Amino acid sequence: MNKQTQFVHDLIINNPNINTILNIGYRYDSDQTILNACVSNNKTFEVMEIYKPNCDVLKNNKKIKEIYNMDIKDIKSLNKKFDAIIWLHGPEHVKWEDFLIFRQDIEDSANHLVIYQAPEGFYPQEDIYGNVHEKHVQTLSEKMFKDLGYRTNSFVEFYEPTFSAFVIK
């Protein structure tokens, strides 16, 4: 298990207060470590994904309780709370000024924990497999999140510096 996954695993799987998890941007080809650990520990794993073709493929995965084909900016309209919300390698896909507007809606939708994970610094990525939402539109730094009061943790995985910013309620 890589360091990024281990960090998420330790905060979610080992926490008895976390039973419902929303993973934002989970894809059919995503690492399944957290999903499998949730299932093994009787935790509910749900997905929010903006790209419909990804949702269509994920519907075949019986381990995922619910799939919401929607934009994270609209999370408030779900009118639902989760014990933990994780957005792994996601915040770099939206403009920082937009993130600052809807981040509170994400955090208000979590009972105990929110984890944002992103590459540190400039890490270009264009559309992938026809999905325009895969493009990196924002360069992020750990400092940007620290300046907002988030706790952070840094990693270097696969030659890519990455950080996690998180809120524990």
For the chain, which domains are there? 3-168 (3.40.50.150)
At residue 24, what is the residue type?
A: I
Could you give the count of Cα atoms lying within 13 Å of 17 in the half-sphere of its Cβ? Answer: 9
pLDDT tens, per residue, the chain with 169 residues = 888 889 899 999 989 999 999 999 998 777 899 999 999 999 999 999 999 999 999 999 999 999 999 999 999 999 999 999 999 888 988 999 999 999 999 999 999 999 998 888 776 677 777 877 777 788 899 999 999 999 998 877 665 677 788 888 6
Q: How far apart are CA 134 and CA 6, in angstroms?
A: 24
What residues pair up with 161 in beta bridges, in sequence order? 156
For residue 62, how far is the Cα from the chain centroid?
A: 20
Are residues 141 and 100 in contact, defined by beta-carbon separation less than 8 angstroms?
A: no
Query: What does the alpha-carbon distance between residue 60 and residue 95 come to, in Å, rounded to a whole number?
Result: 32
> Which of 124, 153, 142 lies closest to 4, judged by CA?
153
Closest CA to 116 of 54, 20, 1, 24: 24
Q: What pTM was estimated for this model as a whole?
A: 0.91
